[in-house]
Structure 1
Amino acid sequence: MDSHLILKIIHMTFGSLALIAFLIRAVMLFWDPQNQPGKVTRIVLVAMQHLSFTVLIITGIVLLYQNQFVVQPWFYGKIILFVVILSATIKAFGKRDMSLSQRKAGVFVAGIAFAGLLTLVIWKPDFSANQTQQQGIQQPNTSQQNQLSSMAVRPSATTQPAQ
Structure 2
Amino acid sequence: MNAPLLTLTASAAALFSNADGDVLIVNPTYKSYWNLPGGAVDRDETPQDAAAREVREELGITPPIGRLLVHAWVSSPGRGAQVLYIFDGGTLSAEDQAAITLQESELSEYRFCPPDAMEPGLIPPHLTDVWQAALTARTSRHPAVLTVRL
TM-score by length of 1: 0.22
Structure with the bigger percentage of strand: 2
Structure with the bigger percentage of helix: 1
Q: Which has the higher contact order (CA 8 A, sep 6+)?
A: 2
